[in-house]
Amino acid sequence: MAKGNKSDKAEKTGKTNLHPTKNPISENIRGAMVELLQVHLATAVDITYQTKQAHWNVKGMNFIAVHKLFDELHELTEGYVDTIAERLTAIGGQAHGTVQAAVENSILEPYPLDLVKSEDHLKRLTDSYAAWSAAVEKGIEEASEAGDPLTEDLLTAVGRGLDKSIYFMESHFQS
Ligand SMILES: [Fe+2]
């Protein structure tokens, strides 16, 4: 579900301007990690409103259960938005946290506006989570290779959360 052209934006230019900081990580590693985290911040902002789109519009006999589940997922993803943004700023970056920036940089396909049935929302949202989880896995490797274990750890926690959310959604339609 990740867009080819959007993935290209994830390529690191190494030209990120950083704020001065006493953070001990070297400047070129911090620059690379800010670029990495910027993509995940945009994707987190995107997905947090995908969960609300599902929360608001879902209909079906299991309405109240999935309506509440989507809101719980929203709260978790809002937590990821904040955690990612604050790691990015902690290492000297400038967070691009607006919806407009998310549109530019998110790796996700736009969420359809016309979905109604709970199964359709669960499957479509699972696709988004799976696409982001795959990108997070790559990000974990990138942070590890760059030598930033704290960003690696942060992305690992996000990835573990995403995979649990995928399990919660997929269990509705797995036999
Ligand atoms: Fe609500």
Question: Does residue 109 belong to any structural domain of this protein?
Answer: yes
Question: Does residue 20 belong to any structural domain of this protein?
Answer: no
pLDDT (0 to 100) of residue 9? 46
pLDDT (0 to 100) of residue 141? 98
Question: Does residue 9 belong to any structural domain of this protein?
Answer: no
Q: Which CATH number is 114's domain given?
A: 1.20.1260.10
Question: Does residue 57 belong to any structural domain of this protein?
Answer: yes
Q: Separation of 50 CA from ligand 1 center, angstroms?
A: 13
Q: Do residues 111 and 43 touch, judged by C-beta distance below 8 A?
A: no
Q: Separation of 56 CA from ligand 1 center, angstroms?
A: 7
CA distance 68 to 22: 43
Q: Separation of 52 CA from ligand 1 center, angstroms?
A: 8
Question: Does residue 89 belong to any structural domain of this protein?
Answer: yes
Question: Does residue 70 belong to any structural domain of this protein?
Answer: yes
Range(s) of the domain holding residue 130: 25-170
The total number of structural domains in the chain stands at 1
Amino acid at 15: K
Helix ranges, 25-62 (H): 27-57
CA distance 55 to 70: 5
CA distance 150 to 169: 29
pLDDT (0 to 100) of residue 156? 98
Q: What is the mean pLDDT of each run of 10 residues along the chain (175 residues)?
A: 44 73 95 98 98 98 98 98 98 98 97 98 98 98 98 98 98 91
Bridge partners (DSSP) of residue 59 are: 117
Q: Separation of 74 CA from ligand 1 center, angstroms?
A: 10
Residue 136 token pair: 């997070």
Question: Does residue 75 belong to any structural domain of this protein?
Answer: yes
Q: Separation of 49 CA from ligand 1 center, angstroms?
A: 12
φ/ψ (deg, to 5) at 91: -100, 15
Q: Separation of 145 CA from ligand 1 center, angstroms?
A: 41
Question: Does residue 149 belong to any structural domain of this protein?
Answer: yes
CA distance 89 to 59: 39
Q: Separation of 27 CA from ligand 1 center, angstroms?
A: 42
